[in-house]
Structure 1
Amino acid sequence: MRLSDYERKAQREIERWERGESLFGQALGFAMKPVDWAFDKFVPDSVVDSLTDALTQALSSLNDASAWTMAPDDVLSAARDLEIDVDSVEDLRDVPLDELDAVAKRFTSQNTILSMLSGGGAGLGGALLLAADIPVLFTVNFRLIQQVAASYGFPLHGPEYSPLVVSIFNVAASGSREAKSDALRELSVAAAAFAHGSGYKGRKAQGTLREQMGHVPREIAKNLGAAKLGQMIPIAGAAVGAGVNYWFTDQTAQAAMMLSRALYLERKERL
């Protein structure tokens, strides 16, 4: 199916996003080099393991619909507030992209603020509350990914979608071109399945959830854990905690929007 001018423009935005890295991201990467060194040298493997387990646990909720923190009705309500009349989340796939962008942005702003407040409060408690903040941050960002994907008509129900969710998390944590390209390849598989009405089976969807994810959760945990080390500094901890949470959730929001738009566009082109 032919794309509109707005949708062609969105494709170019996605291509630029895949190739590039923001100036903020470059500056953060440079500033984080000594922190990464300190994290690798002084933080015990047990801490990294606990962060990895927290992420794995959040992703494991894909196997349990009752554990979801995102209600499809919230997405439908947001769509109807913008005068988009649909009966189901899946119906949003046939709504013009510019209207869906407006729906998704409602969820990105509210979750970014929520995670920032969580990080600031945890930062006041230093190391004691750092461990408690990580699972909350993962939960907020996991819900954000679900909400954004559903805003474009793709509710990520079931464990078969864990490769997509992991890919988006990995892009948010690393921001690397390799992670973006890997996520877009995974989305291409999903787009073909959605366009042809066949069931989506991710490229990595064999075996247990932990086997599917491989080393990715550990890398995400290390990247985020290193960034949050400054949260343990007295007085400055609240500012660092709020800032890191804001940064990570903003990265998740951008990745979720770009990748969900890519999924929407590729599916439409395949129809």
Structure 2
Amino acid sequence: MPDTMRLTDEEKAVRREIEDWQHADASVASQAMDWAMRPVDWAVEQVVSPDQMDQVTDRVEQFLSTLSDASEWTHAADDILAAAEDRGLPAESVQDLRNRPVADLDELARSRFRQNTLLAALEGGGTGLAGTAFVAADIPLLFTINLRLIQQIAASYGFSLEGPMFQPLVLSIFNVAASGGREARNEALREVSVAAAAFADDLDYAGRVSGTFRDQNRHLPREIAKTLLERKLGQTVPLAGAAVGAGVNYWFTTQTAESAFMCARALYLDWKERR
């Protein structure tokens, strides 16, 4: 393999971090959320009917199924390019950032975390005050914030994920954030590998080609919706709505940031090894 395609020692260390994340158990944040939400989950079961759950799940599933169609207006490349300029990483296009050291790009990507997690928490707390009526509206807003976050993090490493063709990759990252499971991480990194090959060969990305994954991808929005709704419907519990709304949104956006961060780093390294 030519020297230009080999990873540096720093990049090999990042690869090991990604592998550790891939094979780790559920994060401490996910475990803590599970523990904290147990009494709220019980209360939700008492006040939310199965029909109400199905109605909200259907709306969220429909939104997630068409989510990437909104990608053109949820992310502006100028934001990342301006942030890169502020950090001494001038670039004329997002793609130019691929030639920067991974440590610099890690810093750029992390700079997107705080503003989005706080925005999601504020939005969740506000809609949480309104209880059941705003749960169905809150979740699409939450996913819109998180889609923008995924795109910003990917762009920090030089990859633009705009357009419906990136739906499989975006959904796989959301699935990691919602479930925290090891298998979800494996699936996401397999999808990253496909995307990296497409970018390296200047081909259109179309997601994995196996029939099994396509069948799974049709069901993925519903699985993500159900997982998140088990937490979000805690907003319907009297006196707890605002706190639960803010807390769940903060937790989910933090999980999305970590998942997108690891997947974008993997995309950067996979692309470099293939080019």
TM-score when normalising by structure 1: 0.90
Aligned partners of 1:150 and 1:156 also within 8 Å: yes
Whole-Å separation in 2 of the counterparts to 1:192 and 1:125? 46
Q: Go from structure 1 to structure 2 and tell me whether the alpha carbon gap of 1:211 and 1:22 turns closer, same or farther (over 3 Å shift).
A: closer
Tell me the equivalent position of 1:234: 238
SS of the residue corresponding to residue 112 of structure 2 reads helix
1:159: how far off?
2.1
Alignment partner of 2:256 out of 236, 252, 258: 252
- The counterpart of 2:202, out of the listed 191, 197, 202, is 197
Conservation of the 8 A alpha-carbon contact between 2:11 and 2:269: yes
Equivalent position amino acid for 2:260 in 1: A
Shift of 1:51: 1.7
Contact conserved, 2:173 with 2:188, CA < 8 A, in 1? yes
* RMSD over equivalenced CA pairs, Å: 2.3
Matched, 1:28 2:37: no
Question: What CA deviation, in whole Å up to 9, does each residue of 1:108-139 have, x standing for no partner?
Answer: 11100000000111111111222221111011
Residue 224 of structure 1 and its aligned partner are, at CA, apart by 0.7
In 2, the alpha carbon distance for the partners of 1:24 and 1:254 equals: 11
**Shift in Å at residue 33 of structure 1?**
6.7
> Which runs of structure 2 are paired with 1:9-20 in the superposition (5 Å)?
9-20=13-24
Q: Distance in 1 between matches of 2:265 and 2:21?
A: 12
Q: For residue 18 of structure 2, what is the amino acid of its counterpart?
A: I
Give the AA of the match of 1:269: E
Query: SS of 1:46's equivalent?
Result: helix
Query: 1:270 maps to which residue?
Result: 274
Is the Cα contact below 8 Å between 1:171 and 1:179 reproduced in 2? yes
**Does 1:157 find its partner at 2:166?**
no
Q: 2:63 — aligned with what?
A: 54
The aligned amino acid for 2:126 is G
Q: Does 1:174 align with 2:179?
A: yes
Task: Find the residue that maps to 1:155 and give its secondary structure.
Answer: coil
CA drift of 1:176 comes to 0.8
Deviates more, 1:125-134 or 1:75-84: 125-134
CA distance in 2, matches of 1:251, 1:149: 15
Deviation string for 1:77-98 (max 9, x for gaps)?
0100001011100111111111
Out of 222, 228, 250, the residue aligned to residue 226 of structure 2 is 222
Instruction: Tell me which residue corresponds to 2:8.
Output: 4
Kept after mapping to 2: 8 A contact 1:163/1:212: no
Aligned letter for 1:243?
Answer: G
AA at the equivalent of 1:18: Q
Residue 57 (structure 1) shift: 3.6
- What is the TM-score normalised by the length of structure 2? 0.88
Q: Is the 8 A contact 1:204 1:212 kept in 2?
A: no
Q: Which structure 2 segments of 5+ residues have no match? A: none
Deviation of the 1:61 alpha carbon? 2.1
In 2: Cα distance, 1:236 partner to 1:204 partner = 44
2:45 corresponds to 1:38: yes
| Deviations, residues 144-182 of structure 1 (Å, cap 9, x unaligned) | 111111111000122221111111111111111111101
Instruction: Find the partner of 1:183 among 184, 188, 193.
Output: 188
**Unpaired runs of at least 5, structure 1:** none
Over the matched positions of the two proteins, sequence identity in percent amounts to: 55
Corresponding residue number in structure 2 for 1:137? 142
Q: 2:121 is matched by which residue type in structure 1?
A: M
Contact 2:69 2:163 in 1 (8 A): no
What SS does the corresponding residue of 1:215 show, helix, strand or coil? Answer: helix
Post-superposition Cα deviations, 1:169-213, rounded to whole Å, max 9, x if no partner, equal 11111111111101111111111222222332211599xxx9883
Contact 1:173 1:223 in 2 (8 A): yes
Q: Is the 8 A contact 1:205 1:212 kept in 2?
A: no
Question: Alpha-carbon deviations, 1:20-46, whole Å to 9, x = none?
Answer: 12223234345657838939x833222
